[in-house]
Structure 1
């Protein structure tokens, strides 16, 4: 239910958000029991992630959507412009409010969805928790509304000091704009005597920044962050992509196009002795900000992860529980059991979420995942290690 190597990360979140921590534990326990006892059926999810828009105002190098080989670059303009109406989102929230899932707004860049404040207002008005995942560029103009609306958590990407962050994000002044946004958020919370939204930073290990990761912790402290998670870079080889799609096509008559955005011709150019030294240095740092690496690989696994396209984890169970715990709803209304596998179990424009969640199509997907435990790309996905 919670992998042993993720226990510290889970405890930290529970301490900073005790109400949510207890609710998440109960939800995960129930979903885990349905995973063990039933063949594809699941209790309602802990989290529903609303993919508000494909649009993004940055072109981050390592991003699978809009990065160097990002999958969104291949999508037609009509698809990229798609988004659910406010009425459709309100109907969804009315459908799920009885089991009170955590609602996460992401994209693309969710703050480019003009009516995002209305969505937050509707989520909070129905007694649900609301998170926003953002690159921070538009935060300064939106910080006051986030505090007033009661956003619970802001997850923000920060990859290094100014020059490193801007290079990885593909645009000048990105660091300064984000930093100004979080300073304003911090000041407004202090002025209004509020603790939320909590600020959690997400940082990706990459060729450009791995030697300077400790600096991210100090910047996180200045921003008033609650926690920082260093994510290992997601990448796959062409052979893995081909093998995966051949298998996925056999089971579901479709391919996982979104994983094309993570293909690399060569392994990352990272000096592993240096990276491991930086990881050790960060874990030994005294900081008010809770720090974790995710997945929390052993040193041996870190070496294996970056030195082979055929990596297999040793310290985690090789199975995925995410389809029992999380649902993803995309701008066209499609409901996905996994963010990047491009498998749609239904569409909220045609059926209610509650009907889709345990539909025959959804249950069949879970059955296959349970029997196979993983597809070729899964070991590179963070959800594989989450539960």
Structure 2
């Protein structure tokens, strides 16, 4: 299942309250970046290609708490950069859980030892391990040998201690669908709670020869369709059934970038987690000053190939039909 039933019910109640209040745009998950500094230089990442001055900046734990309180989202994804390089990361995680938030900590796994003995398993907490593919492919994409083995050991230890674990596999051009499918099967057999498939975003900062690694929309559809077919029905996806439909070209969705707003050391990033057209001092400014109609597939050339969950997952949930609701129930209770 994507997440515990109680959390899914909490999310459903939150969405219903927003609709009853007549709100057309509201956040679902805060994409929080306490730091954009990282201990890897992944080939497809635009975050680590920023200026040294930006990479040195970081949010305090209190800044993070203020951000989640300000926007009111029921969930928070703590990303970066690599959040485990942040000196207050344990306090940040505990503070989010104390606020009752669905809390996801994204990590490349290298510094997992810094946190494992300092936090306890919690039904609202999930480790999200970055894992782009089998050993050779993953190590090539993160530009360091041995990282795949570190991640796998981290997954095993986290599960042994009772933590919820999700993996996030970013898809790039040239990857072998069979290898990805086999990896998803292996992770499921290891007891990983969910696997997330995420087409890579075409970062403007990743230029030159590396810009050829990104998939176009039709290529995403073909690749995800093949991976899902080859992986079979036993793989547990974090992607909702409706979003998986979207990734396979079975339904159309419009981007809702406000559903997963980004707060980083420079401020509230607009318009979304992936594009940077400005930073705002407050969440309200982000919502009011961003011309949302200027973004999305067919509206902005930078959005042409984007099929990221940060823009479309909430869209899939918001547009559920009665049949979709039944599929969601099956997804939630899947073993």
Q: What TM-score bracket applies, with the shorter chain setting the length?
A: 0.7 to 0.9
Per the alignment, residue 103 of structure 1 pairs with 76
1:295-374 equivalences under 5 Å are: 296=244, 315-317=251-253, 319-323=254-258, 325-344=259-278, 346-348=280-282, 353=283, 355-356=284-285, 358=287, 360-362=288-290, 365-369=291-295, 374=299
1:124-143 equivalences under 5 Å are: 124-143=97-116
Shift of 1:335: 4.0
Per the alignment, residue 264 of structure 1 pairs with 211
What are the superposed Cα offsets for residues 314-372 of structure 1, whole Å, 9 maximum, x if unpaired?
7313x22231x222101123343411221335214xxxx4x4355x414xx235459x9
Structure 2 residue 230 is matched with structure 1 residue 281: yes
Root mean square deviation of aligned Cα: 3.6
Which of 22, 28, 42 in structure 2 is aligned with 1:60?
42
**Unmatched segments (≥5 aa) in structure 2:** 316-335
What are the superposed Cα offsets for residues 17-36 of structure 1, whole Å, 9 maximum, x if unpaired?
212212223434555677xx
Structure 2 residue 198 is matched with structure 1 residue 198: no
Normalising by the residue count of structure 2, what TM-score does the alignment of the two structures yield? 0.76
Shift of 1:147: 2.6
Structure 2 residue 177 is matched with structure 1 residue 210: yes
1:102-251 equivalences under 5 Å are: 102-147=75-120, 152-189=125-162, 197-206=163-172, 207-235=174-202
| Distance in structure 1 (CA, Å) of the matches to 2:33 and 2:223 | 36
Structure 2 residue 312 is matched with structure 1 residue 385: yes
Contact 2:97 2:103 in 1 (8 A): yes
Normalising by the residue count of structure 1, what TM-score does the alignment of the two structures yield? 0.67
Per the alignment, residue 322 of structure 2 pairs with none
| Distance in structure 2 (CA, Å) of the matches to 1:373 and 1:30 | 31
Shift of 1:373: 6.8
Pick closer, same or farther for the CA change 1:205–1:294 going to 2, 3 Å: farther
Shift of 1:82: 0.9
Shift of 1:177: 1.2
| Distance in structure 1 (CA, Å) of the matches to 2:245 and 2:237 | 17
Shift of 1:118: 0.7
Per the alignment, residue 87 of structure 1 pairs with 62
Structure whose alpha-carbon radius of gyration is higher? 1
**Unmatched segments (≥5 aa) in structure 1:** 1-11, 66-71, 190-196, 236-257, 303-312
| Distance in structure 1 (CA, Å) of the matches to 2:12 and 2:5 | 11
Contact 2:159 2:192 in 1 (8 A): no
Shift of 1:55: 1.1
Pick closer, same or farther for the CA change 1:204–1:108 going to 2, 3 Å: same
